[in-house]
């Protein structure tokens, strides 16, 4: 089957493609003075600012809210970059794809590795910021391991799916960017459903809008299985159910897309 | 143990491109139509034709970049190709880093790539420039680096598309010598260029494409004579020179 052959060929040269992904990350800030330190500074500055502001708006204590926002933002950046970057992954590598018969998955590997490295850096930065504001890691933090493991096939699937479809229908890139912009607000990243100042929540209102937004937003569940262990909380069964089903569906969809349209991607570049 | 013979076999190959980006319009434009030929060890094919006649398409099809719409492509042997001077270079990275990036793309290990660096440095004559970002190179320098990287690797089938004619005379000579060496070491060359002088020096067979179809396939000298005397709209450089004197 073409899709499996493509994936296999790319995985056989995995170190090379991972090296290219990491190298690209290093090159991004090459001509700046601060250099790759921007990866930490950029994330640190915006995250801390948003966290402190929203803590005030929502009536939360900094020690609780700053880690909540910091970890949430790190995870969201990973999701967002996988989705938006995935739409342009083949277009960006157009020159190389028209020179050599390379497996499509190769570019997916480079992109995912780059994003995973960035995710790790963001998580580390989030840890440092959180520690400064009074967060203490707990034993539950180790539960993050299965959640992180789930991130990997999720990233591969999303990138492949978006990449293949966006080559034929570039509108997908625009649509994804718009959805992610909106998603940043609709997903409980810098706000929480149970904050003191959160309105329209609870028994005295008939329509729990915030609660509905939270539950029906697929990003929420994915975010929570990674964030909850870090905050020492347990994710709900629903979180895990939705996340696993979602990732499973994405993997299947990605394989189908790769099988149908993967080979002829070069015709559409 | 006998190794399988190096060969390139095209059988009634047809390739078409989608005409419109829109997924609802399915018109295609036929770039190659019914091309059939077989090349074996020692064949050096010159590819001639007007712009848009399908030369680039055919080269890329042989390289495995465009899957055929109908017909088959069968190749036996490792393939190396240069389809444009910048070769997918990463502009912000230095020439040196790009060697490693290119090697990685070709599936080589870091140690293997490191062994090639002295040859590439020497052949490209870039000197200290190899450690400067490729975005600061002239097109000639980028071309030399690209050619040096590709010819550092042994291959059985070498595919070159229409750029060698643009190099300066000194480099052209060096390139020609290196290409001849490589082909003698290995098997098959396919060179697409308008520079028929270059073609005469390097190739022994000729394929002329006209709007995607084979107009001539066979011996080089005969083919060039025929191509020259035909009232073809695009004249090779050679003809233009002699008519002026």
State residue A269's pLDDT score: 84
Is the pLDDT at A199 greater than 50, yes or no?
yes
* Best to test chain A binding among B88, B102, B136 (most A CBs inside 10 Å): B88
d(C-alpha B229, C-alpha A154), whole Å: 62
Predicted model pTM: 0.87
Residue A269 at interface with chain B, using a CB cutoff of 8 Å: no
Asked if A98 and B65 come within 8 Å (Cβ–Cβ), the reply is yes
Lowest mean pLDDT among A84-93, A96-105, B129-138, B226-235: B226-235
The set of residues, in sequence order, having a beta carbon less than 8 Å from that of B3 and lying 6+ positions away, is none
The alpha helices in A88-143, defined as continuous H runs, are: 89-92, 94-97, 104-132
d(C-alpha A87, C-alpha A101), whole Å: 20
Is the pLDDT at B236 greater than 50, yes or no?
no
Categorize the per-residue pLDDT at B241 as very low, low, confident or very high, splitting at 50, 70 and 90: very low
CB B96 within 8 A of CB B128: no
Report the mean per-residue pLDDT for chain A. Answer: 90
Is the pLDDT at B85 greater than 60, yes or no?
no
- Residues of chain A neighbouring B81 (CB-CB closer than 8 A): 99-100
Chain A window 100-139: which residues touch B at a Cβ cutoff of 8 Å? 100-102
Of A96, A168, A169, the CB nearest to B105: A96
d(C-alpha B160, C-alpha A99), whole Å: 11
Mapped onto helix, strand or coil, the DSSP state of residue A88 is coil
Asked if A95 and B88 come within 8 Å (Cβ–Cβ), the reply is yes
Is the pLDDT at B232 greater than 70, yes or no?
no
Of B18, B92, B105, the CB nearest to A30: B92
Of A13, A27, A102, the CB nearest to B93: A27
d(C-alpha B81, C-alpha B124), whole Å: 17
CB B228 within 8 A of CB B243: no
- Residues of chain B neighbouring A263 (CB-CB closer than 8 A): 67
Closest CA to A10 of A113, A150, A154: A113
State residue B50's pLDDT score: 85
For residue B79, give how far its alpha carbon lies from the nearest alpha carbon of chain A (Å). Answer: 9
Categorize the per-residue pLDDT at B92 as very low, low, confident or very high, splitting at 50, 70 and 90: confident
Chain B window 85-114: which residues touch A at a Cβ cutoff of 8 Å? 86-88, 90, 92-93, 97, 100-101, 104-108, 110
User: A33, exposed or middle or buried, with CB in 10 Å at 0-12, 13-18, 19+?
Assistant: exposed
Question: CA B111, B116, B119 angle in degrees (round to 5)?
Answer: 155
The string of pLDDT tens digits covering residues B109-164 is 888 889 999 999 988 888 889 999 998 988 888 888 888 888 888 788 888 886 65
Average pLDDT over residues A226-250: 92
Percent of chain B with pLDDT over 70: 84
Percent of chain B with pLDDT over 90: 15
Closest CA to A147 of A81, A227, A36: A227
Lowest mean pLDDT among B32-41, B101-110, B166-175: B166-175
Chain B window 107-146: which residues touch A at a Cβ cutoff of 8 Å? 107-108, 110, 133
Is the pLDDT at A227 greater than 90, yes or no?
yes
The string of pLDDT tens digits covering residues A155-186 is 999 999 999 999 989 899 999 999 999 999 99
Residue A218 at interface with chain B, using a CB cutoff of 8 Å: no
Residue A263 at interface with chain B, using a CB cutoff of 8 Å: yes
Asked if A169 and B92 come within 8 Å (Cβ–Cβ), the reply is no
d(C-alpha A24, C-alpha A93), whole Å: 12
Is the pLDDT at B240 greater than 80, yes or no?
no
- Residues of chain B neighbouring A104 (CB-CB closer than 8 A): none
Nearest-Cα residue of chain A relative to residue B15: A267
The string of pLDDT tens digits covering residues A18-61 is 999 999 898 888 888 888 888 899 999 999 999 999 999 888 88
State residue B245's pLDDT score: 37
For residue A95, give how far its alpha carbon lies from the nearest alpha carbon of chain B (Å). Answer: 5
The string of pLDDT tens digits covering residues B56-71 is 899 999 999 999 888 9
ipTM over cut 0.90? no
């Amino acid at each position: 089957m073409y899709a499996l052959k493509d994936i296999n060929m790319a995985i056989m040269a995995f170190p090379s493609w991972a090296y290219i992904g990491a190298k690209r990350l290093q090159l991004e800030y090459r001509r700046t003075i601060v250099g790759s330190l921007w990866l930490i500074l950029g994330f640190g500055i915006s995250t801390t600012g948003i966290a402190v502001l929203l803590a005030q708006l929502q009536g939360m204590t900094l020690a609780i809210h700053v880690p909540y926002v910091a970890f949430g933002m790190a995870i969201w950046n990973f999701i967002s970059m996988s989705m938006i970057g995935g739409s342009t992954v083949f277009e960006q590598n157009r020159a190389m794809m028209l020179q050599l018969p390379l497996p499509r998955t190769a570019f997916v590997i480079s992109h995912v590795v780059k994003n995973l490295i960035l995710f790790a850096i963001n998580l580390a930065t989030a840890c440092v910021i959180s520690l400064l504001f009074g967060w203490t890691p707990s034993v539950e933090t180790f539960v993050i391991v299965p959640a992180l493991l789930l991130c990997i096939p999720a990233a591969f699937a999303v990138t492949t799916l978006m990449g293949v479809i966006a080559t034929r229908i570039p509108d997908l890139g625009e649509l994804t960017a718009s959805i992610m912009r909106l998603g940043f607000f609709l997903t409980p990243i810098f706000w929480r459903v149970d904050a003191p100042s959160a309105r329209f929540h609870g028994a005295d209102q008939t329509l729990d809008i915030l609660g509905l937004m939270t539950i029906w937003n697929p990003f929420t569940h994915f975010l929570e299985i990674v964030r909850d262990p870090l905050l020492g909380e347990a994710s709900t069964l629903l979180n895990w159910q939705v996340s696993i089903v979602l990732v499973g569906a994405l993997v299947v969809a990605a394989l189908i897309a790769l099988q149908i349209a993967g080979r002829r991607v070069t015709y559409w570049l | 143990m006998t190794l399988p013979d190096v060969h390139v076999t095209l059988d009634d190959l047809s390739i078409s491109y989608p005409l419109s980006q829109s997924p609802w319009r399915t018109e295609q434009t036929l770039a190659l139509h019914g091309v059939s030929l077989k090349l074996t060890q020692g064949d050096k094919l010159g590819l001639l034709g007007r712009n848009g006649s399908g030369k680039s398409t055919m080269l890329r099809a042989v390289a495995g970049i465009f899957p055929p719409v109908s017909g088959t492509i069968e190749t036996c042997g490792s393939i190396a190709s240069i389809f444009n001077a910048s070769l997918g270079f990463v502009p912000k990275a230095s020439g040196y880093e790009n060697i490693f990036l290119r090697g990685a793309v070709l599936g080589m290990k870091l140690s293997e790539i490191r062994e090639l660096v002295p040859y590439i440095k020497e052949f490209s004559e870039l000197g200290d420039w190899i450690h400067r970002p490729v975005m600061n190179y002239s097109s000639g320098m980028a071309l030399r680096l690209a050619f040096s990287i590709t010819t550092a690797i042994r291959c059985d089938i070498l595919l070159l598309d229409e750029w060698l004619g643009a190099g300066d005379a000194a480099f052209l000579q060096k390139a020609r010598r290196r290409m001849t060496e490589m082909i003698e070491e290995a098997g098959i060359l396919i060179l697409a260029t308008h520079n028929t002088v270059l073609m005469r020096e390097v190739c022994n067979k000729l394929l002329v494409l006209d709007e995607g179809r084979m107009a001539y396939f066979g011996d080089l000298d005969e083919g060039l004579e025929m191509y020259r005397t035909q009232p073809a709209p695009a004249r090779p450089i050679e003809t233009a020179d002699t008519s002026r004197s």
